Amino acid sequence: MRIILPRNLLALFFFAAFCLRGICAVPFSWKLASFYGREYLSLEQIAEFYDLGSVVVPPENASARILQKGGRSLSFQINGRQVEINGVVHWLSFPTHFVDGVLWVSRMDLSKSVEPLLRPDKIQEQRTFDTVVIDPGHGGVDNGARGKWLPDEKTLALEMGERLKGVLQKSGFRVVMTRSRDIFVPLEDRAAIAAMLPKSILVSLHFNSTVSSVSGVETYALAPISAPSSSAEKVRATDNEVFCGNECDPNNVLLAHSIHARLTLTRENPKAESRGVRRARFVVLRECPRPSVLVEHGFVSNRNDALLMGNPEYRQKMAEAIALGIGDYMMQLKRGVPMADQFAQEGQVSARKAIPVTQPVVETAPETLPVIKREPAAKTSPFSVFSFHEKTNKAENPSAPFRPQAF
Ligand SMILES: [Zn+2]
């Protein structure tokens, strides 16, 4: 038997102490505060936990608080529901609270929005996929949104789906379409297609419509259990329901973030206005047991958005941006490093800052913007009958200056 000499004993002691320190590392102890019966954490604690330095008051915006280090950044709106995470606007489930100089963030938002994006290596759920289920929204009797300058949403969505399919297939992904022609497919059936494919993600493609002044790109992830959707102020009883889509909560928000970043922040698409990553309980998202998102490419009801989306080159760029976002999502799961870190390392800093949704930036509209001739569009390729470079719209007085209203 070997005798341990005192000197070796000392070394052994330090080695054991080192190991024990690793094993018994003191867990980070969060100090919780309660607002309206909900748990909140201070921004200072979040800074310490994620090693993001100290809280900064941005000189140009006193109503925000920033944490920033390397490529990572968190910029919270005071008493509001918006946060910019690594340059991408996200809608929080609950407003932040600013009390005695301290900003408090809900535990729900930290775990469901911040954590998956800053530490993708901790995501336990589906970490790999080889198939993208593309879901062109609406179809058949369901026309979707209808605007006066573009084909129906169902047609736009299918055309965008075909473009995305082409880009993804070139990148080596297997692609499955929930519909490849103008037919009605029930929403549950669309989610069921992804459910049948264990190594898949689902991307639903849509085009928005509302009052003419609103414009921009939105990307939706399923709302977490017991959190309101982004369009609602308060939690409703139905928000407590558990859907199979909630199993993929961390993946859902990471996928939405990755796609939205490419759609709005990078040079892939510098013209897209960001209305943020939002939460909703759309059937196709809540019934999908695979990571899923829903992209609203823009508003057919808005002249500027219609101008952009009517351009085939722009639609191609959007398809490429979505594909790049899917690739980024995959890389983050693979490497466990946020894309923000990777971009920072590559010197590929965002081409433009995300635009707060309260201050929409509107591109200068052209003096001529034709109205689509709807009848022939339904029969043949809808995109062949209109071009924003043609002067076809006499009735709408296209030369009248376009003045979008602030909302
Ligand atoms: Zn739609």
Residue 1: CB atoms within 10 A of its CB come to: 3
> Residue range 155-168: average pLDDT?
98
- For the stretch 350-379, pLDDT in tens is 433 333 332 222 222 222 333 444 444 333
Both tokens of residue 109?
């938002």
Give the pairing of strands 174-177 and 131-136: parallel
Residue 386 lies in a domain: no
pLDDT at 277 over 90: yes
Q: Would residue 7 count as lying in a domain?
A: no
User: Exposed, middle or buried by CB within 10 Å (0-12, 13-18, 19+), for 180?
Assistant: middle
Ligand 1 centroid to 297 CA: how many Å?
10
Least confident residue range of 125-139, 246-260, 320-334, 343-357: 343-357
Query: What does the alpha-carbon distance between residue 294 and residue 195 come to, in Å, rounded to a whole number?
Result: 16
Residue 59 has pLDDT above 80, yes or no: yes
Residues 182 and 288 in one domain: yes
369: its two tokens: 């913007």
Distance 204 CA to ligand 1 centre (A): 9
Q: pLDDT tens digit string along 290-335?
A: 999 999 999 999 999 999 999 999 999 999 999 999 999 999 999 8
* Segment among 5-14, 44-53, 137-146, 228-237 with least mean pLDDT: 5-14
Bridge partners (DSSP) listed for residue 72: 69
- Claim to verify: residue 149 and residue 280 sit in the same structural domain: yes
341 found inside a domain = no
User: 237 exposed, middle or buried (CB, 10 Å; 0-12, 13-18, 19+)?
Assistant: exposed
pLDDT of residue 347: 60
Cα 286 to middle of ligand 1, angstroms: 16
In a domain, 354, yes or no: no
Q: At what angle do helices 312-335 and 153-170 cross, to 10 degrees?
A: 50
Based on the fold, state whether residues 213 and 329 are members of the same structural domain.
Answer: yes
Q: What is the distance in A from the centroid of ligand 1 to the CA of 12?
A: 66
In a domain, 284, yes or no: yes
How is 235-277 classified by DSSP, letter by letter?
--GGGG---GGGGGHHHHHHHHHHHHHHHHTSTT-TTPPEEEE
Model confidence at 3: pLDDT above 80? no
Residue 45 pLDDT greater than 50, yes or no: yes
Antiparallel, parallel or unpaired: β 82-85 and 200-208: unpaired
194 & 102 share domain: no
Q: Are residues 84 and 129 in the same domain?
A: no
Distance 192 CA to ligand 1 centre (A): 18
The reported pLDDT for the residue numbered 353 is 37
Q: Which H helix or E strand runs over 104?
A: strand 102-106
Cα(368) to centroid(ligand 1), Å = 27
Instruction: Write down how long the chain is.
Output: 407
Taking each continuous run of H as one helix and of E as one strand, the counts in the chain are: 12, 14
- Residue-number span of the structural domain to which 279 is assigned: 122-335
The stretch 176-202 carries a mean pLDDT of 97
Q: Which three-class secondary structure state does DSSP give residue 74? A: strand
Query: Which 8-state DSSP code applies to residue 121?
Result: G
375 phi and psi, to 5 degrees? -60, -55
**Structural contact between residues 114 and 144, judged by C-beta atoms closer than 8 angstroms:** no
Specify the pLDDT at position 273. 87
Residues 102 and 128 in one domain: no
Does 316 fall in a domain?
Answer: yes
Average pLDDT, the chain: 82
> How many angstroms separate the alpha carbon of residue 6 from the centre of ligand 1?
75
Evaluate whether 319 touches 163 at the Cβ level (below 8 Å). yes
Write down the pLDDT at residue 397. 33
Asked whether residue 386 carries a pLDDT value surpassing 60, the answer given is no
Mean pLDDT of 183-191: 97
Q: Find the mean pLDDT for residues 16-38.
A: 71
Report how far residue 376's alpha carbon sits from residue 380's, in angstroms, rounded to the nearest whole number: 7
Q: Domain with 129 in it: what CATH number?
A: 3.40.630.40
Query: Do 236 and 137 fall into the same domain?
Result: yes
- Residues 35-48, mean pLDDT to the nearest whole number: 94
Ligand 1 ion local residues (Cβ < 5 A): 137, 144, 206
Q: What is the Cα–Cα distance from 195 to 68, expressed in whole angstroms?
A: 38
79: DSSP letter: T
Instruction: Look at residue 242 and tell me if it is in a domain.
Output: yes
pLDDT over threshold 70, residue 25: no
Of the chain, the percentage scoring pLDDT greater than 90 comes to: 69
pLDDT of residue 214: 94
Number of domains, the chain: 2
Domain-embedded: residue 171: yes
Whether residue 343 is predicted with pLDDT greater than 80 in this model: the reply is no
Is the predicted pLDDT of residue 48 greater than 50, yes or no? yes
Which pLDDT value is given to residue 8?
56
